[in-house]
Chains A and B, each alone.
Chain A
């Protein structure tokens, strides 16, 4: 092994892939329904202790939807007991607003709540289920329980023009942070890309709206990332493969990213069979793209490789059939032209299909 395993900072604990929402860009694996919730609260507790020993500082309890777990309170308490900073990453359903004071007392510190749009009808339409009213109730309960609140909105053609309204909503809810994240065209979003891809004009207008909002107002902190399909440079996917983020899937599989399971020929290990340190440091799949030795041209000698880590392995695989190829989101890569052609073929008329 050429590159020693770095210390992970952040544990992504995917408690369950079940979710009442059916967003058309769902980031669950395509095979999610066959992946069972294999870790009980005691098993998660053991994972948390091992993650803290590895150096993790944060844990994000996520899914799917983590609040489908009936033992969420025990899991929160275990994560806090391990010394981790506990976040809940939720769609707001089936989470009960009334549960938040208790979760806070058990050690929950921060909630990241997804909303799909600034208006109830449109948000519910994208989510595929009535959920907006509950989300607002959860947001208010988060703040009154004294927890940090991040609103997360996945951006695409059908909500990108509403960025000013989303910022206003975040202010009204007294959010600490607003994350505006463009759809990643993987998994369920891939077949929906013609309907989801925004226009360049939309992307630029949203960036201007964020800059205007940031002038002279420090709350909420707004994070907007230019989508990689428009930036011409690859995103620093996961902050580098198996570098800072450690994902444990509902079935116990230890991954460098939630989508890596769908890449072929990579062996990942399961925390039900080996200890977490071995799964992180020694699994062949983890080491496949660690560091820079795996990189091909033009990444191999690119001055940006320490910043973007060569981009997204899943995207490289999807477009070229080989996950070790450079990410075609990069304009320096020959396959980039195909991606641009695809990007510019998006359409206001294309139909959105919900996740099944």
Chain B
């Protein structure tokens, strides 16, 4: 990028424009959450998987601390670790999230074990930590600036839960309430920091790019959560036929490609009837094959790949 640096206001406007266009408040899953149309199972999947994101935040902030030479910066930033981890057991944002897990009907130990985290979610969250880890301090801070847009979504979410999901009661919403205070404070600090330290247009552009990348990561997290409850259906354009080279497998032939399926893949595809959700298919297979769980370890990942190749439609 060339040209003179934007002034502070223009730079902030650029950062905010990224949020207006790409922040996950507009993701279909969030739109449905806020309109009150998520099922209890969908809400549970979100809580369980989003917890993995929550666990990555203090790790990410600790990485940022290692990049900072300035004591004043570290004093400010370390507050984020305390916010999420608390100063004692039973405190902090992670604890509040586990209370949310309790109130939506999940076992908190099960959620805390991260055993049911979807690999698409894991990949998105890990990509965030890697982005921060590989970046200079300025860009690492910029990636956190989606907090600029978080205050609004928390307020929307609290109102939506109170109205549409009244069974999420008591302490369940405490995390969201805490973030309505913390996110604007953190965002203001982060914004001032990048405004002061991005001195060239190229620096500023790297910050804008980081916010864009972060928005993509948040978006893909919800894509994975959403996909778990969609009901995949084999594309009507697929021709399944024998594979001359591998007698125990099949070929899924499509316009422009052919996909080789082993016996396990073929069994998964046979369940893609547009009736069962991806989540239900995964449970069916786990129950059917208790002795060979590794063959069906990541049904969701496989279905995502099949959708990308056009073998299945992810469905409604």
The residue that A110 contacts in the complex, of B237, B251, B258, with Cβ under 8 A, is: B237
Interface residues on B, range: 10 to 19
Known: A216-B219, A221-B310. A150 touches B237 (CB 8 A): no
Question: Number of residues in A with C-beta < 8 Å to the partner?
Answer: 18
Q: Is A58 an interface residue (CB 8 A)?
A: yes
- Asked if residues B253 and A146 are in contact (CB atoms below 8 Å), the reply is no
State the CA gap A10–B310 with chains docked (Å): 18
Name B243's closest neighbour in chain A (CB-CB).
A57
The residue that A109 contacts in the complex, of B237, B241, B251, B258, with Cβ under 8 A, is: B237
- Chain B residue numbers with a CB within 8 Å of A58 are 253, 258
Q: Is A148 an interface residue (CB 8 A)?
A: yes
State the CA gap A177–B256 with chains docked (Å): 10
CB-CB contacts of A77-114 with B at 8 A, as 1s and 0s? 00000010101000000000000000000000110100
- Chain B residue numbers with a CB within 8 Å of A177 are 255-256
Q: Is A55 an interface residue (CB 8 A)?
A: yes
B313 to chain A, nearest CB (A): 10
- Chain A residue numbers with a CB within 8 Å of B258 are 9, 57-58, 85
The residue that A57 contacts in the complex, of B236, B237, B251, with Cβ under 8 A, is: B251
- Chain A residue numbers with a CB within 8 Å of B10 are none
The residue that B255 contacts in the complex, of A9, A83, A87, A216, with Cβ under 8 A, is: A87
B101 to chain A, nearest CB (A): 29
The residue that A148 contacts in the complex, of B219, B251, B255, with Cβ under 8 A, is: B255
- Chain B residue numbers with a CB within 8 Å of A83 are 241
Q: Is A119 an interface residue (CB 8 A)?
A: no
Q: Is A176 an interface residue (CB 8 A)?
A: yes
Q: Is B1 an interface residue (CB 8 A)?
A: no
A96 to chain B, nearest CB (A): 22
Name A221's closest neighbour in chain B (CB-CB).
B310
CB-CB contacts of A44-68 with B at 8 A, as 1s and 0s? 0000000000010110000000000
Report the tally of A-B residue pairs with Cβ distances under 8 A: 35
Q: Which residues of B from 234 to 262 have beta carbons under 8 Å from A?
A: 236-237, 239, 241, 244, 251, 253-256, 258
- Asked if residues B256 and A146 are in contact (CB atoms below 8 Å), the reply is no
- Chain A residue numbers with a CB within 8 Å of B241 are 57, 83
- Asked if residues B239 and A150 are in contact (CB atoms below 8 Å), the reply is no
State the CA gap A85–B255 with chains docked (Å): 8
- Asked if residues A109 and B219 are in contact (CB atoms below 8 Å), the reply is no
Name B27's closest neighbour in chain A (CB-CB).
A216
- Chain A residue numbers with a CB within 8 Å of B251 are 57
Name A55's closest neighbour in chain B (CB-CB).
B244
Name A146's closest neighbour in chain B (CB-CB).
B236
- Chain A residue numbers with a CB within 8 Å of B253 are 57-58, 85
Known: A55-B244, A110-B237, A176-B237. A150 touches B256 (CB 8 A): yes
CB-CB contacts of A6-23 with B at 8 A, as 1s and 0s? 000100000000000000
State the CA gap A147–B251 with chains docked (Å): 19
- Asked if residues B244 and A150 are in contact (CB atoms below 8 Å), the reply is no
B110 to chain A, nearest CB (A): 32
State the CA gap A55–B246 with chains docked (Å): 13
- Asked if residues A148 and B244 are in contact (CB atoms below 8 Å), the reply is no
B24 to chain A, nearest CB (A): 11
- Chain A residue numbers with a CB within 8 Å of B244 are 55
B238 to chain A, nearest CB (A): 9
- Chain A residue numbers with a CB within 8 Å of B236 are 146
A107 to chain B, nearest CB (A): 10
Name B236's closest neighbour in chain A (CB-CB).
A146
Q: Which residues of B from 251 to 277 have beta carbons under 8 Å from A?
A: 251, 253-256, 258
- Chain A residue numbers with a CB within 8 Å of B310 are 176, 221
Known: A85-B239, A146-B236, A176-B237. A110 touches B219 (CB 8 A): no
Q: Which residues of B from 294 to 316 have beta carbons under 8 Å from A?
A: 310
- Chain B residue numbers with a CB within 8 Å of A109 are 237, 239, 255
State the CA gap A177–B257 with chains docked (Å): 12
State the CA gap A93–B261 with chains docked (Å): 38
B25 to chain A, nearest CB (A): 14
State the CA gap A319–B134 with chains docked (Å): 46
A117 to chain B, nearest CB (A): 23
- Chain A residue numbers with a CB within 8 Å of B219 are 216
Name B314's closest neighbour in chain A (CB-CB).
A218
Name A9's closest neighbour in chain B (CB-CB).
B258
State the CA gap A150–B254 with chains docked (Å): 12
A218 to chain B, nearest CB (A): 8
Give the interface centre of A58, A85, A110 by most chain B CB atoms within 10 Å.
Answer: A85
Name A111's closest neighbour in chain B (CB-CB).
B255
Name B258's closest neighbour in chain A (CB-CB).
A57
- Chain B residue numbers with a CB within 8 Å of A176 are 237, 255, 310
- Chain A residue numbers with a CB within 8 Å of B237 are 109-110, 147-148, 176
CB-CB contacts of A144-182 with B at 8 A, as 1s and 0s? 001110100000000000000000000000001100000
- Chain B residue numbers with a CB within 8 Å of A87 are 255
Q: Which residues of B from 202 to 252 have beta carbons under 8 Å from A?
A: 219, 236-237, 239, 241, 244, 251
State the CA gap A35–B256 with chains docked (Å): 28
B202 to chain A, nearest CB (A): 19
A109 to chain B, nearest CB (A): 6
State the CA gap A177–B253 with chains docked (Å): 16
Q: Which residues of A from 128 to 154 have beta carbons under 8 Å from B?
A: 146-148, 150
- Chain B residue numbers with a CB within 8 Å of A9 are 258
B141 to chain A, nearest CB (A): 25
- Chain B residue numbers with a CB within 8 Å of A85 are 239, 253-255, 258
- Chain A residue numbers with a CB within 8 Å of B254 are 85, 148
Q: Which residues of A from 300 to 328 have beta carbons under 8 Å from B?
A: none
9 intermolecular pairs with C-beta atoms under 8 Å apart? A57-B241, A57-B258, A58-B253, A83-B241, A85-B255, A109-B239, A109-B255, A148-B254, A177-B256
Query: Could you list 11 further interchain pairs (A-B, Cβ under 8 angstroms) beyond the known A150-B255, A176-B310?
Result: A57-B251, A57-B258, A85-B239, A87-B255, A109-B255, A110-B237, A110-B255, A146-B236, A150-B256, A177-B255, A177-B256
Q: Shortest 10 CB-CB distances between A and B: which pairs? A: A110-B255, A148-B237, A85-B253, A148-B255, A57-B258, A85-B239, A57-B253, A150-B255, A87-B255, A109-B237
